[in-house]
Amino acid sequence: MTYSTKNTQKTISRRQFVRGLALTSIAAAVASHIPSALAYKDTHSHDSRTDNPKQPVLSGTEFDLTISEKMVNVTGSPKMATLVNGSLPAPTLVWREGETVTLRVKNELSVDSSIHWHGIVLPSNMDGVPGFSFDGIKPGETYTYRFTLMQSGTYWYHSHSAFQEQTGLYGAIVVLPKKEEPRHVHADYDHVIQLSDWSDTDPEQLYANLKKMGSYYNYNKRTVSDFFSEVKEKGFSKAWSDRSMWNNMKMSDRDLSDISGATYTYLMNGLSPNAHWRAVVESGKKVRLRVINSSAMTFFDVRIPGLKMTVVAADGNLIQPIVVDEFRIGVAETYDVIVEADTNKQSYAIYAQAIDRSGYAIGSITSDASKIAATPAMDPLPILSMTDMGMDHSMPGMNHSNQAMSSRMSMGGMDHRGQEVRDDSHSKHARNMSSMNVNLDEMQIPMDMNPKLPLIEVPKKEGPQIDMRATGAKYRLDDPGVGLRNNGRKVLTYADLKNLYPTRHAPKPTKELLLHLTGNMERYMWSIDGIPFDEAPPLKFNYGERIRVTFINDTMMNHPMHLHGVWSDLETGDENHIPRKHTIVVQPGAKISYRVTMDARGDWAYHCHMLYHMLGMFRRVQIR
């Protein structure tokens, strides 16, 4: 499909308030295949008709964007939101690789604002992070962003000021390729699927509640009746032992999301489940879905019951096609999938469950806007295991070969003080492996997984800001994660990601940066190596050097780590097809490694993309 490169600023008429919908536009198809009016039943207002306007799509090379506050009604109660051009989500921006875009962003708020172009490679003063080669956009002022596009794919943009991202300041970016894409990526329809989480509670209050009690929004805590059910299943001794262990750690094996459906409404293209977004397509046609997780705090598990999805891109970069039933998408990640739906036969639900199963976002692929898919049954509540605590060498849901891989790749555990412990047997084993005539690619071990790679010294701190340490953190690239193991569906994992283009001759890293993701859930304190951002010195690198970054997650939460300005090349063991991403999810109690070429001078942000973790789990990176 094609897009016009003419600069078009589409405007549409719409209601001032619509119960169950966000004010003004709702993110819909980039290709504009969605009709402007849809009928549905809204359980809030009992009104069976409402406007479902097309998402504003702005294309070309020059754009005028205005940040302002406007009242919206997502849940049935009016609430102030932070919007771009009066749209929730913000307009979809369509650019073309190789062109230079100019974006004049005016701030009509009473406070500073900003826009960060997530995943776009650009000069540091165009990146949009206040305090990093950019002062932010003052009230009443306009800041002009200008940069040349050196990539194509699916990306997004959002505020990097205060909690404005939570209140609506986010939108999609589609960068069209300069050259024609491979045939397997071609589709008859092309839709953005933008997932997000909305709360009528002010984000400052959400954060204050979490600071009072980290589990404030966890309504799935264990009860006495749960204990008796466990006794029937495991026997009294085992049930008591398990419960005592978690109680002694002052942790819950149901602590999956900091903020849940207790306050969040999960949106698809700006629509609540009651409004139910829909893509109207002809039967048998290929549909490309550009799935973007623009939420502040929510991981989603996405599937389309009755349809296989062919994943063709991750974080804007083409990968070798992989057919799956489901994928987990972390905050700030994007995945492009191709589906073919027999819409003459039925409508299909695009179903995105929150990781803690406290709610979902939903839409339909249908041939008739009046015919929406039934809502699938929610999966069971996931229960964390010792694997997710980094304390167990067994990995449910992983095949035997990957267990062996993880064991071979382990380089020791952690003691109770959190100091790294080198296991000589593992080191000797790795050295012996390198001297043997073996195919390391087939064994799925990174070729230069060398314990002697020089470690970059970074400060570390112990204390009450750390409430646990992963004593057996392992690479778990083949692990779909809690709630998805052994569910009978083919679930995408990082081990499945293979760059569409060869990478064997890419440079190898010469140093390793080892960082621990740390926190205290009870006090809601987040840090890296026990040091919060406001106390941490910058990480300094020389321009052009190649670094391996290894994260060990000492917490029970997934952390999507995003390094601005440069790409992250994920080590999967296949040297010839290293996938390239801008956001890397580090699973609870796990470790992960990726390579970064420091090829962008300036000061860059490096942080967890969970909005309420970001205040502490953040670093400044300086490339000189």
Residue 265 phi, psi (nearest 5) = -110, 130
Among 524, 513, 508, residue whose Cα is nearest residue 557: 524
For residues 119 and 518, give the distance between their C-alpha atoms in angstroms, rounded to a whole number: 25
Mean of the pLDDT values across residues 312-341?
98
| 334-347: pLDDT as tens digits | 999 999 999 999 99
Label the pairing between strands 618-623 and 602-608: antiparallel
Residues 40, 276 contacting (CB under 8 angstroms): yes
Whether pLDDT at 320 is above 80: yes
Among 254, 295, 266, 169, residue whose Cα is nearest residue 613: 295
pLDDT at position 14 is 32
pLDDT at position 473 is 92
Residue 232's pLDDT band, with cuts at 50, 70 and 90, is: low
For residues 201 and 120, give the distance between their C-alpha atoms in angstroms, rounded to a whole number: 31
Which of 115-119, 239-243, 271-275, 540-544 comes out lowest in average pLDDT? 239-243
Region of residue 140 (phi > 0: left; psi between -120 and 50: alpha; otherwise: beta):
left
% of the chain residues with pLDDT over 70: 76
CA 378 to the chain's CA centroid: 21
pTM for the whole structure: 0.82
Which tokens sit at 548?
């391996």
Three-class SS of 315-355: CCEEEEEEEECEEEECCCCEEEEEEECCCCCCCEEEEEEEC
pLDDT at position 420 is 35
For residue 305, what are the CA distances in angstroms to 311, 376, 381? 16, 8, 19
Residue 49's pLDDT band, with cuts at 50, 70 and 90, is: very low
Q: What is the DSSP string of 385-401?
A: -TGGGT--S--TT--HH
For residue 382, give the DSSP letter. Answer: P
| Backbone Cα Rg of the chain | 24
The dihedral of CA 162, 166, 168, 170: what is its sign? positive
Mean of the pLDDT values across residues 157-179?
98
Angle subtended at Cα 355 by Cα 18 and Cα 260, rounded to the nearest 5 degrees: 55
CA 232 to the chain's CA centroid: 38
| 465-523: pLDDT as tens digits | 998 898 889 999 999 999 999 999 999 999 999 999 999 999 999 999 999 999 998 89
Three-class SS of 557-594: CCEEEEECCCCEEECCCCHHHCCEECEEEECCCEEEEE
Residues 28, 191 contacting (CB under 8 angstroms): yes
| 378-389: pLDDT as tens digits | 999 988 876 777
Q: Regarding predicted confidence, which is higher, 419 or 177?
A: 177
Dihedral angle of Cα 294, 296, 298, 301, to the nearest 10 degrees:
10
Average pLDDT, the chain: 82
Whether pLDDT at 353 is above 80: yes
pLDDT at position 235 is 74
Whether pLDDT at 225 is above 90: no
Residues 135, 265 contacting (CB under 8 angstroms): no
| 4-32: pLDDT as tens digits | 333 333 332 333 222 233 322 323 334 33
495-533 in b/e form (b: 16+ CB < 10 A) is bbbbbbeebeeeeebeebbbbbbbbbbeebbbbbbbbbb
Mean of the pLDDT values across residues 400-410?
34
Which tokens sit at 246?
């978690």
Mean of the pLDDT values across residues 523-542?
97
For residues 473 and 590, give the distance between their C-alpha atoms in angstroms, rounded to a whole number: 5
pLDDT at position 229 is 60
For residues 201 and 263, give the distance between their C-alpha atoms in angstroms, rounded to a whole number: 7
Residue 391's pLDDT band, with cuts at 50, 70 and 90, is: low
Residues 498, 580 contacting (CB under 8 angstroms): no
Q: Regarding predicted confidence, which is higher, 108 or 230?
A: 108
